[in-house]
Chains A and B, each alone.
Chain A
Amino acid sequence: MKRVSLFLLFSLITCYSYSQVKPLDMQHLQKRLSRSDTVYIVNFWATWCAPCIAELPSFEKLQKTYKNQPLKVLMVSMDFQSKLKTDVIPFIRKHKYTTEAYLAIRKNDQEWIDQIDKNWSGAIPGTLIVNNKKGIRKFYEREFTYDELNKLYQTTK
């Protein structure tokens, strides 16, 4: 019995040492970004996108650095919806990312892209920053280094 509970405890710890990837549709994403006391930085990425993977550590670092500030970083995967269990969850687990992670649930790409930003061509990586209190909602179709990301946060918060 003791062994079983130890095992359970151990699995709980390993389970929660990284983020659970949840499916997320547009309605829920918009709702997630609606608080006025929080700055949101939403990165759109995919497991197959090399420049995306290269910049994810910067987003993780930003969230960890400012964990005591009202900042929420979200990693929203644009992988195929069928790849949640085979690719996206194992990827987040492997890299032990603790930043909030989601998989975009969409009927088609276009609807999703246009609702994030009309000027987004659909190329990834892309990053959305939202500060409702200041009325800021800006989308960047580009890559970020940690310093650039930090600067973006500092000038938006």
Chain B
Amino acid sequence: MKKLIVLLLIAASGLSFRTAGGGYKVGDVATDFKMKNVDGKTISLANYKNAKGYIVIFTCNHCPYAQAYESRIMALDKMYAAKGYPVIAISPNDPVAIPEDSYANMQKRAAERNYTFPYLLDETQDITRAYGATATPHVYVLQKTASGNVVRYIGAIDDDTEGKNPNKNNYVQKAVNALLNGTKPEITTTKAIGCSIKWKKEA
């Protein structure tokens, strides 16, 4: 029995090492989490009993690219929460590095802008690391399945950060629409310029 536990532990640590490297890829099962929301409550994906999936967005207060996308993030929640794909916003940055991204400032921004979605602080940065987010904003569209929350799309909200192109490619909308229609997204990974995540300095 003891041997088995040791073996399991080794296997588990191996898994966590693997995810620590590059983060999730499309098709991986994403881990749930417990993080503090701006309203003081602790939020997990499992709290959303009726969700069909989630639009998990690593974003923050200070980054101009995140700011440029803020209204589009708010629109995504209004568009898809009722359909079963709520936005879950996570601030990944170390508030020591960026005071503007502190919990108090997150609360302030969420209240000022009337966020209709949770805005969580990843205090340990463990979830950010596990998901493999590198910049803000960085989106993970998850689909709830019998085997867990499967990553279906990773990347940018659209291909027009500056908001100038009327014919922009709305990647996240297309991905969620595809999932709602029972198909898989055509485009599953994209990239965009963003603010690098501000990691805690190692002690």
Contacts and interface: CB of A to CB of B under 8 A. Distances in A.
Contacts of B63: 48
Interface stretch (B48-56, B110-118, B192-200): B192-200
Interface string A110-129: 10111000001111110000
Interface stretch (B7-15, B27-35, B119-127, B157-165): B157-165
Most chain A CB within a 10 A radius of its CB, from B68, B169, B196? B196
B191 A122 contact: yes
Interface string B23-42: 00000000000000000000
Contacts of B159: 108-110
Contacts of B192: 108-110, 113, 122
A81 B162 contact: yes
A153 to B, nearest CB: 22
Contacts of B162: 80-82
B64 A113 contact: no
Interface in A58-98: 78, 80-82
A78 B193 contact: yes
A125 B159 CA distance: 20
Contact of A80 (B156, B161, B190): B161
B139 interface: no
A74 to B, nearest CB: 17
Contacts of A81: 162
Interface string B52-84: 000000000001110010000000000000000
B134 interface: yes
Contacts of A141: 134, 196
Contact of B191 (A80, A82, A121): A121
A124 B64 contact: no
A124 B191 contact: no
A120 B191 contact: yes
A104 B28 CA distance: 34
A114 to B, nearest CB: 7
Contacts of A51: 196
Contacts of A48: 63-65, 195
A49 interface: yes
B135 interface: yes
A124 B193 contact: yes
A102 B169 CA distance: 27
A112 B162 CA distance: 15
A105 to B, nearest CB: 12
A114 B191 contact: yes
A114 B169 CA distance: 17
Contacts of A123: 134-135, 193-197
A48 B135 CA distance: 14
12 contacts: A46-B193, A48-B63, A48-B64, A49-B195, A80-B161, A110-B159, A110-B191, A110-B192, A112-B193, A113-B191, A122-B135, A124-B196
Interface of A: 46, 48-51, 78, 80-82, 108-110, 112-114, 120-125, 141
